[in-house]
Chain A
């Protein structure tokens, strides 16, 4: 087990390096001079710009710039400072990351809590009205672009109830009531975009197991259907759902970017959109890399969890 884990982690490292190189490479296609982007809205002199270019290290060769940046990602300064606000990126991360992580956790928990029972119900009622209803609902939830749904929810809340979510974000420990009011709708919207996959997988997997020879033989041995479902089908479906939850983490990040922007949650998703609009490229570069690394780590964690739940995968290292 430990060896398997170690191997998985080691394999992830070159992937991460490749990802950071890709981010760096794409960002360097930038047509404009970044120093100009920084001096946005300020009349400036050539001298000002040159001082800035030197300070940013834009005069160095690309490999040196990459090395410096990669080094800063490791030593905790995460690429230095924001061009726009002049703040350390590490400080930005410290403030914003927890918001997004919490939001993601709520969304995952919420979607598991809703999706698993629905998936199981659909699987048990396969082909019948309930199954079709769940299928239809999850398809609809999946298809409505999150951005449109978010706008609509925000607008309807005000029009119907004269209510809008609080605007000053508080952590769950500081002010739980405000926190919940503020994150509830975004988390629900995220879960709506994220949950349908889980419903589908749970349902499919459940049906697979119920149809399997294995289940048949269990029934033949006189075990009740309830036993078959609870002892065999459910655990299998659960494992499958968790796997999909891991694979879909990236989708969760994308969804978070959207709902944070519409609902004004001060998370890393809104942060990166703002930075992108302001062409604050060190922030975009570092946050993008960190988001990618987090998704990678999430996938890894799910992989390990999966291998723990289903020891067979450890040997060939492949799933499905």
Chain B
């Protein structure tokens, strides 16, 4: 394997830091993210408060760390749901073909026709804002993308001779799909899911900014963008900018890593380098 680029290493480091911060927020965070103190409102970044404080006197760094938890949890949940359902639909439809495939395809077409935010808006209006509703909204709009990629990846496997041989031995369909199709089609799907994670993090931020995402007191990154910009973007830009930059860094890193994963796997498979899957769009 050739050396990985600087960008990828950097992205990896960013992700490790963010993931570590989210996981161990209770250990690392210097303050309680909800603890208010009027006498230390809107302090600029300094030694005691690395990221400064917000209008409640809450520590912005601590909130960003805990916010990572919420943002990443929502993103992970949505990608897991979309990934699980999407892969299942994609693989089975590729494997079964025929009528079932056609039906699934049409269903996916219908879902795919929804711009991400439009889907998210109606889901959130129906369910009322909550982390679960946000995750559901994001999952629903990722689902058709994942299903398509999974189907595509599986199709190339299904046609291969050894699989035809496996099928000829009369192995059960479920067994074949999970034992043979999934492992072969897995790598490109995994790469795609990594990129999806980036999209989901951005999506959460967008929804929360619009006031339709994760409600307070959860300190998600999008929520912080909203609160900071509406109340004191100018007077205390750090409250908005610092979480915003962390958000951007995370999204960029996820996409870079996803990209890299995709390329390497393909190379490992010895295939012609495919068109990059790219980032699933919001």
The answer to whether A and B assemble together is yes
| A interface residues with partner B (beta carbon < 8 Å) | 14-15, 18-19, 22-23, 26-31, 136, 139-140, 142-148, 151-152, 155, 159, 197, 200-201, 204, 248-255, 257-258, 261, 272-273, 276-277, 279, 281, 284-285, 288, 291-292, 295-296, 299
CA distance A253 to B210 in the complex (A): 15
> Does any Cβ of A come within 8 Å of B278's Cβ?
yes
Q: Are B251 and A151 in contact (CB under 8 A)?
A: no
**Known contacts A148-B225, A261-B210; A288 and B113 CB within 8 A of each other:** no
B117 near A254 (CB under 8 angstroms)? yes
Q: Which B residues have a C-beta under 8 Å from some C-beta of A? A: 7, 106-107, 109-118, 121-128, 198, 202, 205-206, 209-212, 222, 225, 229, 233-234, 237, 240-241, 244, 247-248, 251-252, 255-256, 275-276, 278-279, 281-282
Known: A145-B247, A288-B121. 20 other contacts (CB 8 A): A15-B109, A142-B279, A145-B282, A147-B210, A147-B225, A148-B248, A155-B234, A204-B276, A250-B118, A251-B281, A251-B282, A254-B116, A254-B117, A257-B115, A257-B117, A257-B121, A258-B210, A273-B212, A276-B121, A276-B122
Chain B residues closer than 8 Å to A18, beta-carbon distance: 106-107, 110
Q: Across the two chains, which residue of chain A brings its CB closest to B252? A: A143
CB pair A148 B247 closer than 8 Å: yes
Q: Cβ of B113 and Cβ of A151 under 8 Å apart?
A: no
CB distance from A300 to the nearest CB of B (A): 11
Q: Please, how many angstroms separate the alpha-carbon atoms of A258 and B282 in the complex? A: 11
| CB proximity of A35 to chain B, nearest CB, Å | 16
Are A23 and B251 in contact (CB-based, < 8 A)?
Answer: no
B135 to A: closest C-beta gap in Å = 15
The 3 nearest A-B residue pairs measured at CB: A251-B281, A250-B115, A253-B115
A200 neighbours in B (Cβ, 8 Å): 276, 278
Given contacts A29-B126, A281-B125, contact A197 B278 (CB under 8 A): yes
Q: Is the CB of A139 within 8 A of B118?
A: no
Give, as a whole number of angstroms, the nearest-CB distance from A315 to chain B. Answer: 19
A104 to chain B, nearest CB (A): 11
Q: List 9 A-B contacts (CB under 8 A).
A: A18-B107, A19-B110, A19-B114, A22-B111, A147-B209, A155-B229, A251-B115, A251-B281, A295-B114
Q: How far is the CA of A271 from the CA of B177 in the complex (A)?
A: 45
Residues in B with CB closer than 8 Å to A273 are 121, 210, 212
The interface residues of chain B lying within 8 Å CB-to-CB of A148 are 205, 225, 244, 247-248
Q: Which residues of A contact B241 (CB under 8 A)?
A: 152
Closest Cβ neighbor of B240 among chain A residues? A151
* Cβ distance A56 to chain B, nearest Cβ, rounded Å: 16
Set of chain A residues within 8 Å of B278, measured between Cβ atoms: 197, 200
Known: A200-B278, A261-B210. A292 touches B252 (CB 8 A): no
From B152, which residue of chain A is reached at the shortest CB distance?
A320
* Distance in angstroms between the alpha carbons of A199 and B209 in the assembled complex: 29
Tell me the complex Cα distance, A252–B115, Å.
8
Compute how far the CA of A310 lies from the CA of B108 in the bound complex, rounded to whole angstroms.
26
Contact A27 B122 (CB under 8 A): yes
A250 contacts B114, C-beta separation under 8 Å: yes
Most buried by A among B7, B128, B209: B209
Residues of B within 8 A of A147 (CB): 205-206, 209-210, 222, 225
Q: Are A26 and B244 in contact (CB under 8 A)?
A: no
In the complex, what's the smallest C-beta–C-beta distance from B107 to chain A, in angstroms?
A: 8
Closest B-chain residue to A270, C-beta based? Answer: B210
* B109 CB contacts on chain A under 8 angstroms: 15
* Bound CA–CA A26/B111 (angstroms): 12
Write out the residue numbers on chain A whose beta carbons fall within 8 Å of the beta carbon of B255. 139, 142-143
Verify B212–A19 contact, CB threshold 8 A.
no
Q: Taking each of A147, A151, A277, A288, which has the highest tally of chain B beta carbons within 10 Å of its own beta carbon?
A: A147
User: Within the assembled complex, what's the spacing in Å between the Cα atoms of A187 and B252?
Assistant: 22
Distance of A139 Cα from B212 Cα, bound (Å): 27
